[in-house]
Structure 1
Amino acid sequence: MAYSTDSVSLDFDALFLPPPTEYIIPTYHGYVSVAVYGDPEKPALITYPDLALNHVSCFQGLLFCPEACSLLLHNFCIYHISPPGHESGAAAIDPDYPILSVDDLADQIAEVLNFFGLGAVMCMGVTAGAYILTLFAMKYRQRVLGLILVSPLCKEPSWTEWFCNKVMSNLLYFYGVCGVVKEILLKRYFRKEIRGGTQLKESDIVKACRKSLDERQSLNVWRFLEAINGRPDISEGLRKLNCRSLIFVGDMSPFHSEALHITSKLDRRFSALVEVQSCGSLVTEEQPNAMLIPMEYFLMGYGLYRPTNLSVSPRSPLSPSCISPELYSPESMGLKLKPIKTRISMRV
C-alpha cells in the first residue's frame, strides 16, 4: 500500500519553496520513494539523482535558485524519484532481495508514472540518474517529451571507472560509507577547488553533501552502484530518440568526454550541449545559475515561460512547437553552447 507524508527537513518557507508530499510506491521491483512538489494539474517533470544522492542533495541548489525555481514550479509539478533506498530515513534493503539492473530501474519509472496517472513527461537526471532516464526514454519513447541531462553517461564503464567502482563497491559492502568512499564520491561530484585541501577550504556545498552521505544506507548505495557499473552501452540508440535533449556538463567533470560523446550521437537538430566553465559534474549544486537561461530557452520550444511572460497557460499539456528556440549564453555566465542553434523544420 502506498502512503504519503507531508515532511520537510529544511526551511522551505523562507525560500518560497513549498514542502513536498512524499510517497512510497510499490512496484514490481520493490518500493520507490517519490517527493512531489507543486500542482499535480501541471505538466510533470521527473528527476533522478546521481549515485548516493537524493532529491535534497542533488537538486536543492537548483530549486533554491529563485529564478530557476520560479521557472520550473510555474510550469511543472516536480516528481523527484529516488533510487531504491536513497530517500532520507530509508531502511536497509533486505540483503536477500535481488540486485536490480538498469533496465529494472527504468521500468520502475514507468510504474511510478502509472501510479500518478501521468502520460508524457519532461525528465531531468544527473550522471547515473541521467543514464536511467535516457534508457527510460529509449524503452518508453511515447512517455518522454524532453530530456535535461546533467553530466550524463551512455557508454559502458571504462576500465578506469569500472575498477574505481569495484573498489568503492567493496568498501561499501564491508566498511560502509567510510571516509575513502566519501572522497571518491565527492571527487565524482565536484571540482577540486571547492572540495578543499591543504591550501583550500572545503566549501559549504561540499560540507552539506558530505553530511548527506552520512545518512545513506551503505548497502542501498552498493546496490545502485552495482547496477550502474554493469550498465550496457546505449550509444547507438541515442539517434533514435524522438525527443529534444539539453545536456549540461562541467568542464572539470570526470564525465566531460562522455557528454561530448552523447552529443555526437544525438540528432543535432533536437539537441544542444552546454559546457559550464569551472564546474564539476554536479552542476545543479555547484553552479545552478548557469542552467537558467539554457533551460528557459529550451522550454520556450514547448510554449513554457517564466511567470513574467504569461502568454500561455502553464496548466496546458506540453506540446512542442514547430521551431525550437535558439540557445545562447551571455559571456558573464561563462557558458559555451554547442550547437549554437537547434532548429526543427517548420511543419504545416
Structure 2
Amino acid sequence: MSSELHQSVPMVLCLPLMTWQIKLLRLGAVMCMGVTAGAYILTLFAMKYRQRVLGLILISPLCRAPSWTEWLLNKVMSNLLYFYGMCGVVKELLLKRYFSKEVRGNVQVPESDIVQACRRLLDERQSINIWQFLEAMNGRPDLSEGLRKLHCRSLIFVGENSPFHSEALHMTSKLDRRYSALVEVQACGSMVTEEQPHAMLIPIEYFLTGYGLYRATLSVSPRSPLSPSCISPELLSPESMGLKLKPIKTRISLEV
C-alpha cells in the first residue's frame, strides 16, 4: 500500500460509514454542512453519491491537494506531536490555522472564550489522533476535476483571514455558477461558525428558501442580529442572498 493511499484511508472510510448511517436512519437525500476537512469529506461524498445529497453548506472548504506550505506545516506539527505530544507550539499553529487574530488576542486584548475552550479541547485529545488527522490531510487527493459535475446547490462561507481562503475561491471557480454561491466574511478566520455565526444566518435562510424549507422575506430576518448598516443594500435582495445562488460577499463591521 502506497504512503499516499495509507494517509488518505481515514477520509475514504468516512464515505461508506456515512452511507450506512443514512440508510440506517432511512433518510432520503440529506442537507450536509461541514468545516474545512469535514467540508472536503462531504464534497467527496456528494460527488460519489449524488442522489444522497440535497445540498452542501461548506465552511472554509478544501478541494485541492495540499500546497507545499500546508504540507510542510502539517509535517512540522506531525513531528512535534510524535516527539513531544500536544506541546504549546502545536497548539499555537493549530489555533492560528483556524482562528483569526481578532479572537486569538494579544498583549492588550485577552483571548476569546472560543479560543480558550479550543485550547482545553486540544489538551483532552490524544496526540496520535491529531497526528493521524494531519497525515490524512497531507495525503488528500485533488477534487477539482469532479467539481464541475457536482450539481447539488452549494453555499460556501470563508473568512477573509483564513489560510484556506484561496481554496474557497478556487472551489467556487470550479463549481457550476448556477448552483453555487460564495460568502466572504471580513475580519474572520476559518471557523466562521464559531467567530461570526451571525454572518451566516441570512445567506442560509435564503439558501434554504430555495428548497421550501424556510420562508424568507425581503427585509432583514428578525432572528438575525445583523442590521442593514452592516451589509451593503444590494446584499439584501433575494437574488444576492442565494435564491439564484449568485456569488455574494458579506461586509461585517468589527463594531458589531
Return the TM-score normalized by structure 1. 0.61
When you count strand as a share of all residues, which structure comes out higher?
1
Are 2:226 and 1:343 aligned?
Answer: no
Query: Greater RCO between the two (CA within 8 Å, min separation 6)?
Result: 2
Change (3 A) 1:300 1:307: closer
The 8 Å contact of residues 209 and 215 in structure 2, kept in 1 or not, is answered as: no
Alignment partner, residue 229 of structure 1: 138
For the residue of structure 2 that corresponds to 1:241, the secondary structure is coil
Are 2:170 and 1:261 aligned?
Answer: yes
The CA deviation at 1:216 is 1.0
Change (3 A) 1:168 1:306: farther
User: Percent identity of the aligned residues?
Assistant: 72
The number of equivalent residue pairs is: 226
Distance 1:332 1:307 in 2: 19
Alignment partner, residue 146 of structure 1: 55
For the residue of structure 2 that corresponds to 1:240, the secondary structure is coil
Distance 1:219 1:115 in 2: 30
**Moved beyond 6 Å, runs of 4+:** 334-337
Change (3 A) 1:228 1:216: same
* 1:187 pairs with one of 86, 96, 102: 96
The CA deviation at 1:109 is 1.5
Change (3 A) 1:266 1:336: farther
The 8 Å contact of residues 121 and 144 in structure 1, kept in 2 or not, is answered as: yes
Alignment of structure 1 residues 91-240 onto 2, 5 Å: 100-240=9-149
Alignment partner, residue 272 of structure 1: 181
Alignment of structure 1 residues 7-86 onto 2, 5 Å: none
Unaligned runs of 5+ in 2: 1-5, 218-226, 246-256
For the residue of structure 2 that corresponds to 1:302, the secondary structure is coil
1:277 maps to a residue whose letter is: Q
Change (3 A) 1:295 1:172: same
Per-residue CA deviation, residues 129-174 of structure 1 (Å, 9 max, x unaligned), is: 1001101111111100000000000000000000000111112222
Per-residue CA deviation, residues 156-208 of structure 1 (Å, 9 max, x unaligned), is: 00000000001111122222222111111100111112112233321111111
For the residue of structure 2 that corresponds to 1:152, the secondary structure is coil
Distance 2:243 2:215 in 1: 21
Are 2:207 and 1:298 aligned?
Answer: yes
Per-residue CA deviation, residues 67-95 of structure 1 (Å, 9 max, x unaligned), is: xxxxxxxxxxxxxxxxxxxxxxxxxxxxx
Unaligned runs of 5+ in 1: 1-97, 309-328
The 8 Å contact of residues 91 and 122 in structure 2, kept in 1 or not, is answered as: yes
* 1:247 pairs with one of 156, 168, 189: 156
When you count helix as a share of all residues, which structure comes out higher?
2
Change (3 A) 1:300 1:258: same
2:52 maps to a residue whose letter is: R
For the residue of structure 1 that corresponds to 2:77, the secondary structure is helix
2:76 maps to a residue whose letter is: V
The 8 Å contact of residues 275 and 336 in structure 1, kept in 2 or not, is answered as: no
Distance 2:12 2:121 in 1: 27
